Amino acid sequence: MKALSRLPLALVLLFVAIPLFAQDAPGEALFKRLQQLNATVFATGSTDFGKLEELRKSQADGQAPQVAILSCADSRTPPELLFRQSLGGIFVVRAAGNVADPFAIASLEYAVTQKDPWNTILIIVMGHSDCGAVKAALNPGDAPTPSLQELLDRIRESFVGYRYTANPTKQSLRIATEANARASANYLVAHSTVLRSAVGSRKIVIIPAYYDIPSGLVTDLR
């Protein structure tokens, strides 16, 4: 089995240079509130979203989400359900393996820079259990298409210190998935002046997270 590629040096240095996961940013309390809703509402089986018709009409001319999320495209991981958020609650960007590509970055930059009435103060980068994209990246084989290969190569950059294995254990898959979520969070800051500035000024906080499908719970990965 061949060794996995390491993160680019500039990205590694960024881990030290920038306080990515600032503890005193305003989004901290908001994340704790979302975790509480996840644990006490979604994980216990409740799916009450209020009066959707009224919400839809009230937001017909605008939105003001405080939370943006980069999550996997997996059909089992809808952010709105996991955090008990209805229409207008979360600005969602989804891609296989919660990978941060230029369009995902642009979407999150849009969320952070909008003013009146927007006030996005929290970005969550969420991986999840049994992630097919991470499983595929752990497999030493090549992808069937160029686009998929590019996706796997990006995910593989996050596996510092690991080796490819076609049949990962649940524990090794979780470790790899958590590493990928953290790497994607750091990638946002490494490749976006807008997000880097917002983090540095404590306007926003970027939090890597892990969603466990069997339990329904979301864990802070910092």
Prior bond of 117 cis (ω within 30°): yes
Q: Which has more pLDDT, 57 or 217? A: 217
Nearest to 75 by CA among 218, 211, 215, 219: 211
CA distance 88 to 34: 15
- Name the pLDDT band for 164 (thresholds 50, 70, 90): confident
217-220: strand order across its sheet: 90-94, 67-71, 122-128, 205-212, 217-220
Q: Which residues contact 59 (CB under 8 A, 6 or more apart)?
A: 87, 88
Mean pLDDT, range 120-126, rounded to an integer: 97
Instruction: Set out the domains of the chain in order of their start, with CATH numbers.
Output: 20-44+63-130+169-217 (3.40.1050.10)
Condensed to tens digits (0 to 9), the pLDDT of residues 66-108 reads: 999 999 999 999 999 999 998 889 999 999 999 999 999 999 9
Instruction: Please tell me the predicted confidence (pLDDT) of residue 157.
Output: 94
Residues 25-70 pLDDT 10s? 789 999 999 999 999 989 998 767 667 788 888 888 888 899 999 9
Which helix (H) or strand (E) is 127 found in, with range? strand 122-128
pLDDT for position 4: 41
Query: In this structure, what token pair is assigned to residue 79?
Result: 């952010």
